[in-house]
Chains A and B, each alone.
Chain A
Amino acid sequence: MHALLTLILSFAGALACGLMPAGRARQIRWVALAFASLGLLTALHCALRYGGSGVADEVDWPWIPSLGARLAFGYDGISLPLLLVTGLVAVCGVLFTWELKERANEFYAYYFALVGGVYGVFLSRDLFLLFVFYEIAVVPKYFLIAIWGGTRKDYAAMKLVLYSFAGSALVLLGLLGLYFGANASTFTLQELSQASLSAPLQYVVFPLLFVGFAVLAGMWPFHTWAPTGHVAAPTAASMLLAGVVMKLGAYGCLRVAIGLLPLGAKVWAPWVAALAVVNIVYGALVALRQTDFKFVIGYSSVSHMGFVLLGLATLTQTGLTGAVLQMFSHGVIGALLFALVGAVIYSRTHTRQLEEFHLLIARMPVIAWVFILAGLASMGLPGFSGFAAELHVLMGAWQSPWVSAGLVVLAGAGVVATFGYTLVKIHEAFFRPRVASGSSDKEGLYEPMTAAEIAGCALLLGSSLLVGLFPSLLTDKMQASLKLIVDRLNEAR
């Protein structure tokens, strides 16, 4: 199946769900599941077919000749894991919102518009097209949070929009600088990567592009949209936000900022590394202090994205591999954690305050154990994808001349902090008697997981385990594409 099918299926799904009558929630969710699953199957098929180097499924149609923008699509080893994670999260998002009744048609219309925008970014081989898809995702995000969201949804939705758009504004500025600086007649990545850009220009444009994209990746100090946005969003949306949308930013940093501006990247890499380590440590420490379960996961996302950024800052083959692997890994695990906290546990306890939970391990044993597994995966237990990813990142950071040893040690401390908050929060959530009085967490056993929830958990945990046990499944496919970037970095002076 052609990779473009993911894109087409998503927008078709948005249209189909949007046009169905609102009352038919049952049918709508099956239609949604069908479209999402077909998208995942397409992504899987692409992954199996991908030969390991070059750009596959390339199409290149003229679009806006006067601007030099082309409808150029295709995927390489870097896009591939991200396509997969998008497909996975999209399917599981539908599974975990199986009970949604309120305005279901609109919900899935925005949901698939967002998914489509994300696929579009990962498939674009033209910078302008990439930017367009990047922006398309803004409106659905806003709607998903602001209509179906929870805690302070208006504030969170607006904050998310303004942050991501401010990031886009920087990206746009960088984009124009790149376009005119390269004296290019097109926006295609192919041509721009061959253009010779002067060093001073790269020094100026790189921070614009990198910071612009990194806002969406949750880089400190621009991360504050992430916890509030994740907490306010409905489950499926927070899964997408944490699992996929944050990867958009990181992907942009890698593909555009580092990929096109090697000289700029080399100059700024130490700064990026420093910020990334702040992300890791700060996210972990703040997570430790949270009492709202969803905020814990929100800040843990910030911390985990720090590893992605650190991997990017290494500018080495190993580090970049780790970064992409971490994008996949956090996409899967982050989505799972948000699903468990936001849907599975919350729908039973009707609270997310940790001090109101009462010995949940005895009252929802299966769910608790699934969460504990997910938590272990999140803190990087060997056997899960997170371990392989963080290992690659830290190894890359050791090798990298741009990341000082002190920073690596600090990042290692961040890993320890991650262990700390994960275990503490697991204890507080599941093994601790109620602390607060007047809780809405009732006595007695909770009903077991539904079939949809089991399927979703199995899919996400399974894929994390699979990649954790056999990381070469993904890493082998990435090497050639990453090598192109690394070679450019080494050649540029």
Chain B
Amino acid sequence: MNVMLYSMEIAMVLSGLGILMLDLGTPARGKRDLGYLAAFLMSLLLLQSVFMPEVQDGFSLLSSGHSITEGPGYKLDAFARYFKHLFLLAAILVLLMAVDFAGTLRARLAEFFALVLFALTGMSAAASATNFITLFVSIELITVSFYVLTSFQRGQMRSLEAGVKYLILGAAASAVLVYGIALVYGATGSMEFAALGKACPSAEHDHLLRLGLLLVIAGLGFKIAAFPFQIWVPDVYQGAPAPVTAFLAVGSKAAGFALLMRLCHHLRPDLRELTLTVLAALAGATILYGSLCALRQRNLKRLFGYAGIASAGYLLLGLLALNAQPGASPSGAQGCHAMMFYLAGYLIAVMAAFTVLCHLDGEDEDLSVLAGLHARSPLLATVLTLSVVSMAGLPPLMGFLGKFLLLQSAFEVLSPHPAQLWLMVVALGGVVISLYYYFGILRAIYWGGGISPGRPAGESEAITVPPLARLLLIACGLILLWVGIFPQALLEWLGDAVALFR
């Protein structure tokens, strides 16, 4: 067993434990600095991983695993690295956001930071998982951390409600997932994803395998919040503290997609047909459901929740490409390409939007808190605008190319089957619908005076943003713009990451 394979996760866990231990000796007013420390450590890890990846390909310490798994169930390839970088970036932004948010969290800050790191570890492991055991363990690590994180504001009814809902539905989803895994194992006799590519010994094994696969997709569907497994999203997004919601929206979802991508990559041709149909239905329903439900939302976090559901639908379009018949079109890699690009843009946009939310006053996140934002803080208004426009998928921001690539890859897969092109119509319809609610946010920012009768626009004074947050927001905005206009560098980097799928 190669320990260096896990070096990043080990570093994450050690940092988390270290933060917990340091907390014991830190006076109350120094606790916030632990967040900076955690963010700093993760930044170091990110830099090391980006610029010195060869360090991780180190020596072998323990003998290879045996029993029911054939390999370590773990791969540190370019694909995994890319996702790890995304997760690290998300975690750093979440930690810094949480430091500014600390006033609202009040107590047990160190635990908060440590839990974020543990959830990060789970996501990071998920990016590398190549067998069902690693998949399940990493998913559970993410989910259990989030059980606590979502209900972190114990004093608030909503936060508790969010925690309970996430716990119960999450547990149900885990049960479904584990049952699916058991069936798949029963049918193939192996825990490896690669076993999905082999023929089963008999027809009834094959039925079991199909059932198991559907259950696994359902379990992961909960993570990515695809319809009909999205029930928990609005309440949990609304109740959880803003940094947690952001992490949930980005990290948890991306981890689910990373797993689905690896999983689908190994499928047999006849299984691909099955998943193609299932995923197409899921994608269409998810896009429609998310877009339509978001129309009437006035709570920003709920709105982003529903918008996130719709995004999951678009990402599923990319996954479709992966399930196309090999040989029919070379689009498998393209679909992954699109998904990974979209996820990067989505990450930056969501993080920027939630960082802005953290700096708004007001207990509820009703749209009216945005009233007069353009006058109170042009920076926040501009960054939120960029992020919302990017999520809406308009050029020249990252979100546009992401959505374009996803639609393109889906079109390529579906074009041999004209009957399936309804999905394209649904997806494009969803984009048009989404403009309505995204532009509703813009309206609230720039001339939202009339929205809430009780609160005239611009009545409050200017909002001051701490320098570090200011810097991050500007960076997010510039990245959205720059990569949106000149995406080639990121696309090339992704080219290595998706080499696996070619």
Contact = CB atoms under 8 A, between A and B. Distances in A.
B400 interface: yes
B428 A169 contact: yes
A63 B415 contact: no
A154 B432 contact: no
Interface in A57-95: 62-67
B261 interface: no
B371 to A, nearest CB: 14
Interface string A435-450: 0000000000000000
B408 A147 contact: no
B472 interface: no
A292 to B, nearest CB: 23
A214 interface: no
A135 B400 contact: yes
A185 to B, nearest CB: 12
Contact of B411 (A64, A65, A176): A176
A132 B412 contact: no
Nearest to A148: B447
B447 A146 contact: yes
Contact of B432 (A66, A106, A143, A162): A162
Contacts of A395: none
Given A136-B395, A138-B394, A173 B428 contact: yes
B294 interface: no
A135 B428 contact: no
Contact of B488 (A64, A132, A136): A64
A264 B495 CA distance: 37
Given A146-B446, A162-B435, A169-B428, A65 B488 contact: yes
B436 interface: yes
Contacts of A173: 411, 424-425, 428
Given A135-B400, A136-B395, A139-B394, A162 B436 contact: yes
Nearest to B430: A169
A158 B440 CA distance: 9
A180 B424 CA distance: 15
B173 to A, nearest CB: 33
A24 to B, nearest CB: 15
B443 interface: yes
B59 interface: no
A285 interface: no
Interface string B403-446: 01101100110010000000011001101100110010011001
B435 A176 contact: no
Contacts of B389: 139
B73 interface: no
B424 A142 contact: no
Contacts of A146: 443, 446-447
Interface in A167-218: 169-170, 172-173, 176-177, 179-180
B319 to A, nearest CB: 18
B487 A64 contact: yes
**Which residue of A66, A162, A179, A180 has the most chain B CB atoms within 10 A of its CB atom?**
A66
B85 to A, nearest CB: 20
A142 B441 CA distance: 12
Interface residues on B, range: 20 to 34
Contacts of A154: 443
A176 B408 CA distance: 7
A93 B92 CA distance: 46
B281 interface: no
Nearest to B408: A176
Interface string B383-406: 000000100001110001100110
A146 B440 CA distance: 11
**Which residue of A139, A143, A170, A179 has the most chain B CB atoms within 10 A of its CB atom?**
A139
A165 interface: yes
A166 interface: yes
Interface residues of A, number: 31
A161 interface: yes
Contact of B446 (A147, A158, A172): A147
Given A142-B439, A173-B428, A136 B411 contact: no
Contacts of B491: 64, 66
Contacts of B415: 177, 180
B432 A172 contact: no
A65 B491 CA distance: 9
A161 B411 contact: no
Contacts of B486: 63
Chain B, interface SS category: helix
B265 interface: no
A257 B405 CA distance: 22
B436 A158 contact: yes
B488 A172 contact: no
Contacts of B424: 173, 176
A464 to B, nearest CB: 34
A369 to B, nearest CB: 38
B253 interface: no
B27 to A, nearest CB: 44
A154 B448 CA distance: 11
A219 B436 CA distance: 23
B337 interface: yes
B398 to A, nearest CB: 13
Interface string A139-156: 100110011000000100
B446 to A, nearest CB: 6
Contacts of B412: 180
A136 B396 contact: yes
A67 B447 contact: no
B368 to A, nearest CB: 15
A39 to B, nearest CB: 19
Contacts of A136: 394-396
B431 A165 contact: yes
Contacts of B442: 139, 142-143
A84 to B, nearest CB: 25
A66 B394 contact: no
B324 to A, nearest CB: 13
A42 B429 CA distance: 39
A146 B408 CA distance: 32
Given A64-B487, A172-B407, A161 B428 contact: no
**Which residue of B396, B431, B439, B447 has the most chain A CB atoms within 10 A of its CB atom?**
B439
Nearest to A63: B488
Interface string B370-386: 00001000000000000
A25 B447 CA distance: 20
B443 to A, nearest CB: 6
A166 B435 CA distance: 10
B354 to A, nearest CB: 22
Contacts of B408: 67, 176, 179
B436 A143 contact: no
A101 B59 CA distance: 69
A135 B394 CA distance: 6
Contact of A180 (B337, B411, B447): B411
B462 to A, nearest CB: 14
Nearest to A166: B432
Interface string A30-41: 000000000000
A66 B396 CA distance: 18
19 contacts: A62-B488, A64-B488, A132-B400, A133-B395, A135-B394, A135-B395, A136-B395, A138-B394, A139-B389, A142-B442, A146-B443, A146-B446, A165-B431, A165-B432, A169-B431, A173-B428, A176-B424, A177-B415, A179-B408
Given A67-B405, A67-B408, A173-B428, 10 more contacts: A64-B491, A132-B396, A136-B395, A139-B394, A146-B446, A154-B443, A162-B435, A165-B432, A166-B432, A169-B428
